Amino acid sequence: MKKLYIVLPLVFAAVLNAQEKGFTPSGKFSGLMFGDYFYDADQHDASKKDFNGFQFRRIYLTHDYNIAADFATRFRLEADQSALTSNGKTGVYVKDAYLHWKNVFQGSDLVFGVSSTPAYDFSEEAWGYRSLEKTIMDLRGIVPSRDLGIDLKGNLDNEGSVKYWLKFANNSGNSPESDKFKRYYGNLQFKVASGLQVLLYGDYDTRANKLDAVGGQMKSNSRITFAGFVNLASKNECSLGVEGYYQTIQNSFRSTPTAALEDQKNYGVTVFAWYALRSDFRFVGRYDIYDPNTSVNKDGINLLILALDYLPAKNVHVMPNLSLQTYQAGGSNDVVPRVTFYYVF
């Protein structure tokens, strides 16, 4: 906290200095929307079978503002049907709210506020189809997409072929802090060759100790996550990506009701590709494997997504697609054909 009291006055001093030199502040609004007409042709949860309708799954309204030559801000609101108001309406909440200090020292930037985590910004950009589905760690709730904290990121070499990103944050996502425990994030991104990039990621998620009802002792319930991502792409032509993660949740599982607590381990792997048949027409495919607990048999979930992406105009996408989720435990699968609309403004 003492370091924060030192940094903030320096930020305001730099802003005033830049304005005195004649810098003209500037800003812009932007946004995006995506939603679908969907039909639950089959569902693991039988009560949802044949459910259908129109939905907006994301609406963004963003304001980016350049305060000074080296300082910029972002304020973004999201309307999300999973964050409902008390009367059941689609809720709106703060998605991003941060100050970006460019070149806090040579080759590195500092960010303070609610901002992206280092887990999957790069893989989501390479995937390019958040409008169809979240990336695997986001989808399975392994790492939050946003967190309130402080980031340091930049280049480790003059060519920008090796980049780093460190973050120290609340681990409360977009919600206010509710405890004393924090999360430590980091990644390294390597540009191996033209069109080929590799990312290595890790985080340590500290949690409150958990009472072992069998042994009567308090035990750590923290989490450790590692991930890797490889992307081979040719701009506007094709992209192929492979991402995998492995997470350990300490003292979180019992093989029997009277057994001692042991670590719960889970992992996921995703492979995706898109290919531009024409400048306005793409084929998109993805396959996920997810195992929420390696000590439990037949609890895995697989996901297949197939889509056609038609661009009738720049920044307007119409995507007929199929989402198929299967369960190793058996029973019905989730079969959801959709027509997704995505547009940026």
CATH number at residue 164: 2.40.160.10
How crowded is residue 314: how many other Cβ atoms within 10 Å of its Cβ?
A: 8
pLDDT in tens, 16-29: 554 556 789 999 99
Count structural domains, the chain.
Answer: 1
3 with 297: CB under 8 angstroms? no
Q: Encoding tokens for residue 30?
A: 């932007």
Which amino acid, residue 292?
A: P
How far apart CA 249 and CA 265 sit, in angstroms, is 6
* 132 phi, psi to nearest 5 deg: -90, -45
* 8 phi, psi to nearest 5 deg: -60, -45
pLDDT in tens, 142-183: 999 999 999 999 999 998 899 999 999 999 999 999 999 999
- Residues 238-247, mean pLDDT to the nearest whole number: 98
147 Cβ contact partners less than 8 Å away, ≥ 6 residues apart: 114, 115, 117, 167, 169, 170, 171, 172, 173, 183, 185
pLDDT in tens, 283-309: 999 999 999 999 999 999 999 999 999
Higher pLDDT, 3 or 61: 61
- Please give the DSSP secondary-structure letter assigned to residue 45: S
3 with 11: CB under 8 angstroms? no
Domain coverage including residue 304: 2-344
Q: pTM for the full model?
A: 0.90
- Closest by Cα among 333, 286, 326, 327 to 309: 286
pLDDT in tens, 322-333: 999 999 999 999
The bridge status of strand 90-105 relative to strand 108-116 is antiparallel
**How far, CA to CA in Å, does 306 sit from each of 26, 238, 282, 285, 336?**
41, 15, 11, 5, 11
Q: How many residues does the chain have?
A: 345
203 with 183: CB under 8 angstroms? yes
How far apart CA 225 and CA 142 sit, in angstroms, is 8
Q: Encoding tokens for residue 130?
A: 């958040």
Higher pLDDT, 261 or 63: 63
Higher pLDDT, 245 or 217: 245
Tell me the chain's radius of gyration from C-alpha atoms.
22
